[in-house]
Amino acid sequence: MEKGIGIAGIAGRMGTLLAEEVRAAGATLVGGIDRPDATVAGGGLFPDIAALAAAAAVVMDFTHASTVQAHARALAQAGTAWVLGTTGLSAEDQAAVAEAATRIAVVQAPNFSPGVNLVLALAERMAAALPAGQYDAEIVEMHHRQKVDAPSGTALGLGHAVARGRGVALEAVKESGRDGHCGARRTGGIGFAALRGGQVVGEHTLLFAAANEHISITHRAFDRRVFATGAVRAALWTHGRPPGLYSMMDVLGMAPPRG
Ligand code: NAD
């Protein structure tokens, strides 16, 4: 990779770790973007995403959903690959990501930890095996008090995996934020509950509850560095990759072959 790696959100919680992990991987950090007054340890601060995109072969992006459409345009324009970790995207944001992926390689993952991606694969298989009429799927997540979106991107990823396993669209069966007299649970619904507090890095439990048994699978991240090492692995993987919208499953070699 001749030009090296750039980081959008380089002064943030993830950005700081990403910078360390780029160096630990022996790769070149070209710098990043953040607030104009941000303090960045090593690597230059570029004036905007277009300047960063021009200087980097790939940009790792852990910022805020409000940046996604502008970043999609700038990276596609520059032909720079994009590792997108930002969560809380709207349907319009997601459409902009898909549009950019027709021109550049985009690895988008709500969670870059290898363990979570294994759980996502298991979730789909479990949902395919356990009849929706008998096994109620509930997803519970907990994160630190600063997190701004809910349910988490990973919880939604788990929901999509369960929905895929059941051959339905998540949007049609999602039950989130129950409060007050909200009625009985829908058969086949996929429920979400989000807890916020303290400095929890990320905990997700997928529960299948039937009348006579419960099956649950839990992932706990103790250090957000696990996301940073995964994202750097994804950034290096984009080298020479054709345009397309890829997932961490592709990076880990766990995705089914593309038809
Ligand atoms: P953070 O608030 O600590 O960092 C975000 C950084 O982005 C901040 O430094 C902020 O100044 C900067 N930023 C925001 N808007 C910007 C803009 N317009 N231009 C330049 N910089 C801008 O947050 P964080 O905990 O590092 O998380 C960032 C994002 O990554 C969130 O969406 C979070 O949910 C997501 N995340 C994803 C994963 C994953 O594995 N996919 C893991 C952790 C966090």
Q: What is the distance in A from the centroid of ligand 1 to the CA of 10?
A: 8
Of all protein residues, the one whose alpha carbon is nearest to atom 14 of ligand 1 is 63
Is pLDDT of 67 > 70? Answer: yes
The mean pLDDT value for 213-225 works out to: 97
Least confident window among 16-20, 37-41, 112-116, 244-248: 37-41
37 shares a domain with 52:
yes
Q: What is the distance in A from the centroid of ligand 1 to the CA of 153?
A: 13
The mean pLDDT value for 228-240 works out to: 97
Is residue 34 a known part of a binding site? yes
Indicate whether 92 belongs to any domain: yes
Q: What is the distance in A from the centroid of ligand 1 to the CA of 102?
A: 25
SS3 assignment for 189-226: CEEEEEEECCCCCEEEEEEEECCCCEEEEEEEECCCHH
Nearest atom of ligand 1 to the alpha carbon of 152: 34
pLDDT tens digits for range 134-174: 999 999 999 999 999 999 999 999 999 999 999 999 999 99
Is residue 10 a known part of a binding site? yes
pTM of the model: 0.87
How far is the C-alpha of 259 from the C-alpha of 251, rounded, in Å? Answer: 17
Indicate whether 259 belongs to any domain: no
236 shares a domain with 216:
no
pLDDT tens digits for range 180-200: 999 999 999 999 999 999 999
The mean pLDDT value for 43-59 works out to: 95
Annotated active-site positions, please?
Answer: 143, 147
118 shares a domain with 107:
no
CA distance readout (Å), 78 to 28, 51, 84, 103, 211 = 19, 9, 16, 10, 55
118 shares a domain with 106:
no
Structure tokens at 110: 């709500």
How far is the C-alpha of 156 from the C-alpha of 88, rounded, in Å? Answer: 10
213 shares a domain with 231:
no
118 shares a domain with 198:
yes
The pLDDT of residue 97: 98
Any atom of ligand 1 within 6 Å of the Cβ of 247: no
Residue 121, domain CATH: 3.30.360.10
Q: What angle do helix axes 114-129 and 153-166 make, rounded to 10 degrees?
A: 30
Average pLDDT in the chain:
95
More confident residue, 259 or 215: 215
Nearest atom of ligand 1 to the alpha carbon of 35: 11
Of 21, 62, 120, 225, best ligand 1 pocket probe by most atoms within 8 Å of the beta carbon: 62
Q: What angle do helix axes 225-237 and 114-129 make, rounded to 10 degrees?
A: 90
180 shares a domain with 58:
no
Indicate whether 257 belongs to any domain: no
Q: How many distinct structural domains can be found in the chain? A: 2
Q: How confident is the model at residue 40 (pLDDT cuts 50, 70, 90)?
A: confident
Indicate whether 256 belongs to any domain: no
166 shares a domain with 149:
yes
How far is the C-alpha of 163 from the C-alpha of 171, rounded, in Å? Answer: 9
Is residue 109 a known part of a binding site? yes
199 shares a domain with 105:
no
The pLDDT of residue 259: 60
The percent of residues in the chain predicted with pLDDT above 70, rounded, is 97
Is pLDDT of 43 > 70? Answer: no
Any atom of ligand 1 within 6 Å of the Cβ of 226: no
Question: What is the DSSP-derived secondary structure letter of residue 58?
Answer: E
How far is the C-alpha of 33 from the C-alpha of 45, rounded, in Å? Answer: 5
174 shares a domain with 52:
no
Is residue 233 a known part of a binding site? no
Any atom of ligand 1 within 6 Å of the Cβ of 191: no
The pLDDT of residue 2: 76
Nearest atom of ligand 1 to the alpha carbon of 148: 34
10 shares a domain with 50:
yes
48 shares a domain with 103:
yes
Nearest atom of ligand 1 to the alpha carbon of 113: 40
Question: What is the DSSP-derived secondary structure letter of residue 5?
Answer: E
Write out the residue range of the structural domain in which residue 50 sits: 5-112+224-251
Is residue 215 a known part of a binding site? no
Is pLDDT of 237 > 90? Answer: yes
Q: Which residues contact 121 (CB under 8 A, 6 or more apart)?
A: 161, 249, 254
Residue 86, domain CATH: 3.40.50.720
163 and 180 in contact (C-beta within 8 Å)? no
The pLDDT of residue 197: 98
Q: What is the distance in A from the centroid of ligand 1 to the CA of 198?
A: 18
